[in-house]
Amino acid sequence: MGVSEDRISSLPDTLLHNILSRMPTKMAVRTSALARRWRHLWKAVPVLDLDEGIWEYLKRKKYPNGEDRVDLMTRDYVRFVDQFLRQHNGPVIRTLKIRVAVDGRRSLVKRWIRTALEKQVEELHFGFQGEERFELPSYMLNSRSMTSLRLSFCWMRNSLSFRRLPNLRILYLKWVAIGDAQFPKILRECRHLESMHLDGCLLIDNIKIITLNPAFKNFTASKCDILSCIEIDAPHLRSFHYTGHQINFYMKDITMLRDAFIDITGKYKTERTRTILLSPSNVEVLTMQAQLLEGLLREKCKSENELDTVWFPNLKEIQLQMGYVCPENIVALSWLMSISPSVERIFVTCHPETRLAAASKRPPILKLFDIASMHPVFLRIAGFTGLPYEKLLLRYFLTKAEAPVTLFPVAPHGFWLDQSIEEIIEVDTKCRGQSRYLIQLLKQLPMTCGKPKLETPQDNEGIENILPMHRDF
């Protein structure tokens, strides 16, 4: 043991700092008690995560119950962070993560920001809290070393300039008050920006993502309450995710888009969303609600218009959110399959709270579209319980597919599926629950796809695991 300790202690400081950087900050400080060699090493660690780990540590401490509990925890947190930064004697801070209530501490927080900038911070994560949003000082946007900036609960004046963040690659804003005029400025001045993520931001009405910059590849907007429109003219954009109420989309040039995620909450109108499907012919991963597909299909049936030209030649993966499987969304999915010749994976997610609405309905005879894909198809249904419409969806793939089909039903918590079935057509097995109805169905079906394969999860996992498989650019 002593020999091992000597060997570790003989390593150069840079390597020991690297080891300490991979530890929780509180644990890194405790290494000072190991030996004299380690006493001051933690003071030069370049990665400082002073967020989750410190708060979790404080939550385990014994504070008196009552209204003062949070105030006492915040006091100790501020004291720890301030002492830590004051004693830090390393030349650089590569990463700094802080989450703090700024009420009454604005001058202190500004000093922390200056310390990070002086030590050439690369990744700066600042979660501001308090009764009023923290006004972002202009000098916080003055760093040639910064590559990632994550901010929450602050506000940014329209006069702020991003010109002095020439190497910024990632911008993440959560609950930030920011005006429409800032977005063209950010895209114009941050020439190396790759990703922008907006979560719950205020004061945004019309977002214009207009850039020819080949570096900019990812844009996400989520739950921005007063947002009414997103306009995108970005030929190099690869990933677009939107979650929230329905808005207008104006897509001009998104020819390189590969990953499209659309999650509309509340009421929706098809005409507001259809432009996002008419444009992205190169999409490889598409995530959306079945209702949106249903609306587009209804428009197609009403008139022979531009929807007839919709074609997804490169679409490989579909992630479809369904309340429950019903005839309308089965038809809509079949339409999407008919215009997507490269599809290999389909992930359908059902939700148990809507399951009773479909439990007693008998599947009608539907006119479904043919499957264009000649590839082997993997179909995963999360929340599968063997209801009639769910079996109808399986019937569609088994009778229409020209290539082998792999079925992967995932039952909700508390619902049992037989875990020993592999080759469902040839195996005569005793099954309990709804899975035996699935076996009977598969044995009776005429199949054009050859012998299907049924896989069931080993631990009967729940429906919350949707298997997101978006492209990581």
Q: What is the pLDDT of residues 203-222, one digit of tens each?
A: 999 999 999 999 999 999 99
405-410 and 377-382 strand pairing = parallel
pLDDT band at residue 103 under the 50/70/90 scheme: confident
433: which residues sit within 8 A by CB, 6+ positions away?
386, 415, 416, 417, 418
Is 62 a member of any domain? no
pLDDT band at residue 84 under the 50/70/90 scheme: confident
Question: Do 329 and 291 form a contact (C-beta atoms < 8 A)?
Answer: yes
Residue with tokens 């002073």: 50
pTM of the model: 0.79
Residue 26, judged by CB atoms within 10 A of its CB (0-12, 13-18, 19+), counts as middle
Is 355 a member of any domain? yes
pLDDT at residue 425 is higher than 50? no
Is 252 a member of any domain? no
Is 131 a member of any domain? no
Q: What's the CA gap between 272 and 275, in Å, rounded?
A: 7
Is 371 a member of any domain? yes
Distances in whole angstroms, Cα of residue 37 to Cα of each of 90, 146, 273: 16, 32, 62
Please count the structural domains in the chain. Answer: 1
Pseudo-torsion of CA 352, 356, 362, 366, nearest 10°? Answer: -50
Question: Which of 30-44, 129-143, 298-312 is predicted least confidently?
Answer: 30-44
239: which residues sit within 8 A by CB, 6+ positions away?
217, 218, 219, 220, 257, 258, 259, 261, 470, 471, 473
Is 423 a member of any domain? yes
Is 200 a member of any domain? no
DSSP for 380-413? Answer: EEET----HHHHHHHHHHHHH-SS-EEEEEEPPT
Handedness of CA 420, 425, 429, 431 (dihedral sign): positive
Tokens of 78: 């501020």
Q: What's the CA gap between 382 and 325, in Å, rounded?
A: 11
Is 449 a member of any domain? yes
Cα angle, residue 248 at apex, residues 242 and 252 outer, rounded to 5° = 85
Tokens of 395: 């019937």
Instruction: Residue 377: give the domain boundaries.
Output: 315-473
CA 320 distance to own-chain centroid:
15
Q: Convert the pLDDT of each residue in 273-325 to its tens digit.
A: 666 666 656 889 999 888 888 877 776 666 555 555 667 889 999 999 888 88
